[in-house]
Structure formats: C-alpha cells, structure tokens
Amino acid sequence: MLLKGKVVYIVVTGATKAKTIETLLWYLKSKGAECILMPSDEGYNLLDHDSVNKEWMKYNKKVYNPKFEKIPEEDLVVVAPCTFNTLSKIAYGIADNYPTSIIHAAIGKRKLVIIAPAMNYWYFEHPLTMENIKKVSSFPNVRVVWPESVYLLDGSLEKVTMAPWEKITDTIFHQYNKVCYESQKGDENIPSIIEKHFSEFFTVGKELQENHYLNSSAGFLAKRTPEGILVTSTGSYVGGLAKRDLSLIKDWSDRLVSWSGEKLPSSETPLILDIFEEYPNIDVIIHGHCKDITYSPKMVRYHSSEYLKNGEWGELFKIDSILKERQSGIMKLHGEIIIAGNFNEALGRYAEMYKETL
C-alpha cells in the first residue's frame, strides 16, 4: 500500500470541515497510513466525536487510544482544515500551542507538510492571505492545497471553501507515487509506431503550450490507433515532447495495464481507458490545465460537481453527462478534458472554451 508504515499527524483546526475529518482518515488508512489526530481547542470542539472516538489522538496533553507507549515520529503532517489564524501562525513562526509547535517542528525537520486552508470569502480576500500562502509555499517540503471557489450558474461567487478531501489526499499520494494503477511492461518493439505518430503529438503539445493550455508536466494527450492506445507518459512535458515520452497501451483486462515504451503511461491512464471504452466513436483525448478556463466563473456549466480522483478507475461517471453533451468539460479543480475524432477537432473545441471566458 502507498502509505504503508507512514505516520501521519493530522492537525485539525477550528473550521467547519473538521466535522468530516473521518473522510480524510478513511482515505489515508486505506493506503496503509498510521494516523494520529492533533486538534486545536477549536478543532476538538468541532470534531464528530462519535466517528473519531476510537482514533489515536493527542489533545490537551492527553493521549487517546494509543497503539504504542510512545507516539512515533511523523513522516508527514496534514493541516486540514487550516484556519486563517493557523495559516498566519505558520507563516510568521508562531508556536503558541501544541498543534502549531508540531507544525513548525516538522517544517524545521524538512518533513512533508500539507496545508489545506479553510476560510470564508472575506478572510480569503484579506491582503495577508495571499502573502501568507505564498510565504508558506516557499518553505521546504510544504504544499498548500488551494481553497475552492464555488460559483453559481450565473457566474456569481457563492462561497470559498476548503478543497475536497479527495483533492487533499491526491496531493498527499502524489508526493509518494504519481501512478496508482497496476501495470505490466511488455517487450513489444514500438519505435516504428511512435515514429508514425510522433510528429502529430509534438505539434499538438506545442500548440497547447503556446496557447497556455498546459501547466508544466500536468496534462496528457491520448490517441486510439490500430496498434493500441498511444498516450503521453507520466511526468512528460506535453508542451515539448520527445519520442521517449510516448507509451503504447495494448490491453487493460481486469484493470491491469499492459504497455510498451520507455516510461509508464500517464498517471491518468484509468480515466483515459474508461473514456475510450465509453466513447467508441472518439479517437483522441486532450487533458490540459488552463487556469483561465478551469477557474473561470463563466465556465460553471462545464464543471463536474464532484472531484475526480487522480489515477483511479471508475471516476468517469462524475463528468460523463457533461462530455456527452459538450464533448468537453472541466474536472473540478483538475483541468479540462476534450474528446474528439481527431486532434484538430479537439484543439478547436479547446479554443472555443477559451473564447467563452473572454
């Protein structure tokens, strides 16, 4: 399991999402993590004690449900939900209670620290909030999971809230392994197949980059070919592809991905294969990360209502109805997905989406 043997300190502060902390606990423990709750006073008061009454927890100098005589050293710390007050304390080095002392010690030890801010709109708009997020993000091994802005269909802002628990866990899992699906590498010689399609992949990737539809190594290109599913590999820079960045998927029976190439196929391979199975008449998929589209209040009708977990099978249903209607959609907090018969058609749809934001 991905987090087997990892000790996770979970600092819970006084925001409403503390009431559903059991969701985070479930995800982490399902991957093998040993979780220890360390709530602030306000966080403790908001906990659903019926759901966490058997969890290992340290609060007010007392240890509940200990599994060992001594609390083991952490491998990572998750601060979720993280209030405006706690975020400010992290930014300015204030350790005036046990949870903030734990956080600062972990930062000093260069441990992985994941912070999920949770605050209302006016706190989010405070001049120090962006400054504090930027400052904290510059600390070594600290990752901030940005809050979610929720818009109504008319484009007006309804609220700012903490990112979904699934987004937070994806951020954690991504630090340890970008690929979640099971796979086996074949020995098929595919240079001639790559040579046949590479120019098209390179040109499309370059155009996506020039149009600012990509963000670093995030995103993918995929194409159905007579030889199998040709897809960009995990971690590849889609805007500047090399031939080694393409992988060929031949089979995925029983959700075991059989592939050939130099590098593993995209971490989003389960979603790619689910789409090609569901849509037999489409031959290409583009997944990009254009923040001007993803977070535009004008694009709410394209949004999935739920977050699609990265690299998991069976997530297509969350955006399937939107793709059936529009052949393009926006995965909540996760970028655009375009399906089409060919790449030129897909690029055209991407351009139309961008025009709608202007």
pLDDT tens-place string over residues 184-197: 998 888 999 999 99
Domain boundaries defined on the chain: 7-176, 188-357
User: Is the per-residue pLDDT at 217 higher than 80?
Assistant: no
Question: Phi and psi dihedrals of 179, rounded to 5?
Answer: -110, 125
pLDDT at 154 over 90: no
- By CB neighbour count within 10 A (0-12 exposed, 13-18 middle, 19+ buried), where does 125 fall? exposed
Tens digit of each residue's pLDDT (9 = 90 or more) over 48-77: 999 998 999 999 889 999 898 899 999 999
Q: Which CATH architecture has domain 188-357?
A: 3-Layer(aba) Sandwich (3.40)
Q: pTM for the full model?
A: 0.90
User: What does residue 19 show for φ and ψ, rounded to 5 degrees?
Assistant: -65, -20
| Check whether domain 7-176 has CATH 3.40.50.2300, yes or no | no
Backbone φ and ψ for 132, nearest 5 degrees, come out as -70, -40
**In terms of Cα–Cα distance, which of 76, 70, 131, 83 is closest to 103?**
76
**Residue 260 falls in which region: left (phi positive, over 0), alpha (psi -120 to 50) or beta:** beta
pLDDT tens track for 239-259:
999 999 999 999 999 999 999
pLDDT of residue 165: 97
Instruction: Give the residue carrying structure tokens 């996760």.
Output: 334
Instruction: Please enumerate in sequence order all residues whose Cβ is within 8 A of that of 186, keeping only pairs 6 or more positions apart, or say none.
Output: 250, 258, 259, 260
Would you state the structure tokens that stand for residue 174, as one six-digit string? 């991504």
As a whole number of angstroms, the distance between CA 232 and CA 219 comes to: 9
